[in-house]
Amino acid sequence: MAKDDWDLALYSLITAPRGDASYYLSANYLPGGGLNASRINDDKLTKMIQQLNSTVDDAKRDQLAKQATALINGEMLTSSIVHPNIVVAYNQKVKNWTTNPSEYYMLTQHLDVTP
């Protein structure tokens, strides 16, 4: 990542989301974002994400996230190839595990690990 002589970055991003786009947009599209491998620095997008991060109202957050996504797609700032290959293993100490095709929502208020 420290080099500048590459044309393509491959990264596997499987996260436990918190229910909105703020983390993903901030990490991937803000200058200095921890996952901003392309070093994207778009002033309009940065302002949208910063506004999203300082907005509390759910409907407004949703609107801002959709606007940011539309800008990203319209400007073709990144292109994603998605092919998750998920392997799940656990033992009898894990209670209330539910496996589903996306696996993004495996961490729930019901998941527990017994001592």
| CATH of residue 23 | 3.10.105.10
Question: Quick one: CA dihedral 18, 38, 50, 57, positive or negative?
Answer: negative
Is 103 part of any domain? Answer: no
Provide the whole-model pTM.
Answer: 0.65
Assess if residue 106 is contained within a domain: no
Using CA atoms, how far apart are residues 102 and 89, in angstroms rounded to an integer?
Answer: 16
Q: Is residue 15 part of a domain?
A: yes
Q: Check if the beta carbon of residue 71 is closer than 8 Å to that of residue 42.
A: yes
- Residue 74 falls within a domain, yes or no? yes
Decide if 29 is inside a domain. Answer: yes
Structural domain count, the chain = 1
- 104: in domain: no
Per-residue pLDDT of the chain (115 residues; tens, 9 = 90+): 566 777 776 666 665 556 678 988 998 899 999 888 888 999 999 999 999 999 999 999 999 999 999 999 999 998 777 666 666 767 888 888 776 655 555 667 777 888 8
For residue 2, give both structure tokens: 């420290």
